[in-house]
Structure 1
Amino acid sequence: MSVRRVSVDHLLEQPLSRGLVAIPIVLIVAITVVDLQVPNDVHLGPLLVIAPALTASVAGTRQTALVGVLTVAAQVLIAVLHGGLTTPNHLSQITALTVLSALVVLLRHIRERRDRALSLARSVAETAQLVLLRPPPRRVGPLRVAWMYLTAEDETQIGGDLFAVARAADSATRVLIGDVRGKGLGAIAEASLVLGAFREGAHRYATLPELVAAVDDSVHRNLQDVADTQHDFGEHFVTALLLDIPDHDSQAEMINCGHPPLLLVRDHQVTALPARHPVPPLGMCELPVPTRPTDPITVKAGDLLVLYTDGVVEARSPTGAFYPLAERVASFLPTTGPDALLRQIHQDLLSHMGDGPADDVAVLVIERTTSRHLHRPHLAAHALDGRPRHHADESPREPAD
């Protein structure tokens, strides 16, 4: 499920909006008829300016210009039938109405050009953001993946949260979820550093510690190019959690760089897996970390892994209560795969907040299946939007071999 932001210009092209143009025309007719019925010392013609002003708010430049012409024509008709066209009063009214209608049309034209430029800028930004935060495949090896992303800022598709899923060279899947300090547009460049380094190194490094070291080194070397490290030195870092999940072995590895703990769902039980060997966040340490020990975790067929950013557990209700993710996931069980669980989290989180998120939110739900067929990853067609986005595989679960 995904929702696309609809531009103002697109809305104005809909039949409903075009039908609203009938309201100014009805006003023109009504004002004209009433003005012709009242005594000569009562002048309702100046009220005709309402018509082009109202049209400009619901239609485009051409419709506004047409209504403006009809408005002036109505004023001319009133002048001819109600006292004479050449009277000073009617001439001044016609002149004033012509000037005001022209100004309304000009302002609507300027607004239309600005809306068009804004729509183009949004389209370019949407494309760039899609390139940066590529949606994970539905299926990677024996894993099924569902994801959700909510942004704290209305005009962005992504913010400081990030995730990626990539294949390793040794029949394994590497998973990354992270959170850049800050949110919105200022954190996108920093997120791009981590994502680029992870995607480049996921298939090049044989072990997870080597991959984390490479990503951390890349963040150290390039962070000053995208962040204002002179004024807030030491305040730019990225919390991250990385997984290495083999295709043919239930023993996976995890390195947690200051990120919220992973949730493991097995046999209708939810277990938080905090790091036994915590590692500092990426980009925080001046000197290279000598060793990055991994935490072994067991991921069996049917297990669900819930990875999330702190925007989930720090989401507050109107009364100020934090969102209890682990408890809520336990209440949703039993579920039938990552898609159903993700939809329940999505709906429940929005209901808990009662409004848009105050921080970026990202959730990955991964299920290990019993299938031995390593399907080629493919992406589902989906729409981008400004705030709520999530992807869930709607296809039926594949049978076990």
Structure 2
Amino acid sequence: MAAVALVDLLAGPEIGFLALFSIGPAFACVSGTVRRALVVGALGFLLCLCIAWYDGMLDTRRAAVALATVAGVTGAAALAATLRGRFERELADVRSVAEAAQRVLLRPVPRRAGRMRVAVSYTSAAAEARIGGDLYEVVLTPSGSTRVIVGDVQGKGLEAVETAAVVLGAFREAAPDEPVLEAVGARLERALNRRLEGEEFVTAVLAEVDTDHTVTLLDYGHPPPLLLRGDGAVQFAEPSLTAPPLGLAALGPDGPRPYRVELAPGDQMLLYTDGVTEARDARGCFYPLERRAFLLKDDDPDSALEALRRDLVGHTAGPLKDDAAMLLLRYRDDGPATR
């Protein structure tokens, strides 16, 4: 508005910049309060009045139209600021509910299970969201073993979150009770069959870490876990036979067959969703997880996983196109086992 006043004074009354004083209140409502919009509007009206008097145009139709324009825009700006404040409060309420749902659905996992150290990372593709269609959970069983799930629900949005809640609820109920991992998978299949319609499905990897640090895996059409050995060797723990995802057992071959992986002190196993391996850079190249596994060598598993997550986000040079969940199991050898 000061620039408008200066230009008008230099140009003289012939040009007529008076109506441009309405720019002030129009911009004031973008981020300010209702009071700010009114104060700026009043200042714009006063400047318009003073410039019209200085130019000798106070009793002209042009000045009357300009003053009416500033007053009208000020009223509209105050209304816009009121509505924006209401929407911001509603958004804050929705975010608080979403954060509560996130804490219930993806609650903190145990950081230690026997001699295993656990770290998790979740990056949602939805802006400002902390939860989506990916899921993970770690459950300690009465026998001393640890059971883990990492999964990916087909689709996005609230329906995917609802399906993830069904899977996690069934896993938390079945994991401590069922004697074998295959029975846990069967419970998940039955729970999903009661919930899903059509050809919806959930890919998942179930893992059971025994007290002797043998890991039993069940792969339901999910990307295979990544193994990082203590000597630096990297490999994928792929199943011998592929199996359909959860929810599609009736449409495909038999369910997955369990297979085992031996872990030694210093070994790590990374379970992840396809949002990691299918993340693309500007040239369309997928994220090279196997070649970036060296980032997991940090002594602190949480810091190691965070370094990998930052590298993943840096690879895409922007928001991820799909949710990305990662769960790291590290066989530590630093004293007696803990629960």
Report the alpha carbon displacement of residue 150 of structure 1 after superposing the two structures with TM.
2.1
Distance 2:110 2:227 in 1: 21
Q: CA contact under 8 A between 2:244 and 2:252: conserved in structure 1?
A: no
Q: CA contact under 8 A between 1:337 and 1:367: conserved in structure 2?
A: no
Unmatched runs of 5 consecutive residues or more in structure 2:
none
Equivalent residue number for residue 161 of structure 2: 188
Report the alpha carbon displacement of residue 80 of structure 1 after superposing the two structures with TM.
4.1
Distance 1:239 1:31 in 2: 61
Equivalent residue number for residue 263 of structure 1: 226
Report the alpha carbon displacement of residue 197 of structure 1 after superposing the two structures with TM.
0.6
Q: CA contact under 8 A between 1:255 and 1:278: conserved in structure 2?
A: no
Is 1:360–2:323 an aligned residue pair?
A: yes
Instruction: Give aligned pairs, total.
Output: 337
What percentage of aligned pairs have identical amino acids? 36
Q: 1:32 to 1:334 in 2, by over 3 A?
A: closer
Q: 1:43 to 1:292 in 2, by over 3 A?
A: closer
Equivalent residue number for residue 106 of structure 2: 133
Q: 1:53 to 1:255 in 2, by over 3 A?
A: same
Equivalent residue number for residue 341 of structure 1: 304
- The letter of the residue matching 1:219 is L
Q: CA RMSD in A?
A: 2.7
* 1:308-327 superposed matches below 5 A: 308-327=272-291
Q: CA contact under 8 A between 1:255 and 1:279: conserved in structure 2?
A: no
Equivalent residue number for residue 240 of structure 2: 276
Is 1:103–2:76 an aligned residue pair?
A: yes
Q: CA contact under 8 A between 1:156 and 1:184: conserved in structure 2?
A: no
Q: 1:278 to 1:337 in 2, by over 3 A?
A: farther
Q: 1:319 to 1:81 in 2, by over 3 A?
A: closer
Distance 1:35 1:332 in 2: 62
Distance 1:367 1:244 in 2: 14
Unmatched runs of 5 consecutive residues or more in structure 1:
1-26, 224-228, 376-401
Worse-superposed segment, 163-172 or 334-343: 334-343
Structure 1 residues 93-120: Cα deviation after superposition (integer angstroms, max 9, x where no partner):
3233212221222222222222322232
Q: CA contact under 8 A between 2:249 and 2:255: conserved in structure 1?
A: no
Is 1:150–2:123 an aligned residue pair?
A: yes
Structure 1 residues 44-65: Cα deviation after superposition (integer angstroms, max 9, x where no partner):
3222111111222242221111
Is 1:374–2:324 an aligned residue pair?
A: no
Distance 2:65 2:297 in 1: 77
Distance 1:212 1:242 in 2: 8
Q: CA contact under 8 A between 1:151 and 1:184: conserved in structure 2?
A: no
Structure 2 SS opposite 1:356:
coil
Structure 1 residues 331-364: Cα deviation after superposition (integer angstroms, max 9, x where no partner):
4475435334323422332333233222221111
Q: 186, 200, 204: which is aligned to 1:236?
A: 200
Q: 92, 108, 111: which is aligned to 2:65?
A: 92
Worse-superposed segment, 89-98 or 251-260: 89-98
Larger relative contact order (Cα-Cα within 8 Å, sequence gap ≥ 6)? 1
Q: 1:287 to 1:102 in 2, by over 3 A?
A: closer
